[in-house]
């Protein structure tokens, strides 16, 4: 059984609970508390993602903030990673691969220059391109089709 929790990072708040009703209550509590001290929750930036891993319990309804329905997303960015509602990591891996190719294209002038020593090219590749591709990968479960990408 998951315990409901709340996580703060800079100006982001993550509310986790087992029911949509409890998320609505927590969200309303955050809104009232912040507004009582002069802050506001952004109605346009607030979004939610529902991970329904239960095969038996399905809950209807919306998440709302002060009567306004909050947009539901299938995935979103949080702390540099892409979170998906099905718990998969495909979008995160795809992003890391494209980040590596972007760094490769940015550095192709150096990496393809015959005047730059091979040792320096290797060091540059390991410290810039590989790091861009592998950021956060230490916690990814290995899947068969990832190696070919």
Q: Where are the domains of the chain?
A: 5-73, 90-146
- The confidence band for 4, taking pLDDT boundaries of 50, 70 and 90, is low
User: Quick one: what percent of the chain has pLDDT higher than 70?
Assistant: 83
Are 110 and 54 contacting, i.e. CB atoms less than 8 angstroms apart?
no
Tokens of 125: 């590749």
Cα Rg for the chain, rounded, in angstroms? Answer: 21
Euclidean distance between CA atoms 46 and 43, whole angstroms: 6
Position 139 scores a pLDDT of 61
The model's pTM is 0.59
Residue 19 has pLDDT above 60, yes or no: yes
Backbone angles phi, psi at 84, to 5 degrees: -120, 145
Q: Shortest CA distance to 95 belongs to which of 136, 124, 126?
A: 136
């Amino acid at each position: 059984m998951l315990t409901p929790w709340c996580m703060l990072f800079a100006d982001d708040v993550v509310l986790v609970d087992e029911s949509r009703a409890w998320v609505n209550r927590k969200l309303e509590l955050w809104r009232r508390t912040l507004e009582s001290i002069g802050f506001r929750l952004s109605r346009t930036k607030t979004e939610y993602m529902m991970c329904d891993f239960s095969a038996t319990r399905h809950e209807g309804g919306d998440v709302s903030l002060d009567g306004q329905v909050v947009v539901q997303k299938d995935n979103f960015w949080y702390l540099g990673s892409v979170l998906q509602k099905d718990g998969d990591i495909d979008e995160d891996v795809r992003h890391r691969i494209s980040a590596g190719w972007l760094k490769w294209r940015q550095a192709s002038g150096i990496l393809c220059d015959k005047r730059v020593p091979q040792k320096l090219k290797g060091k540059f590749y390991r410290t810039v391109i590989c790091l861009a591709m592998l950021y956060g990968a230490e916690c990814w479960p290995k899947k068969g089709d990832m190696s070919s990408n």
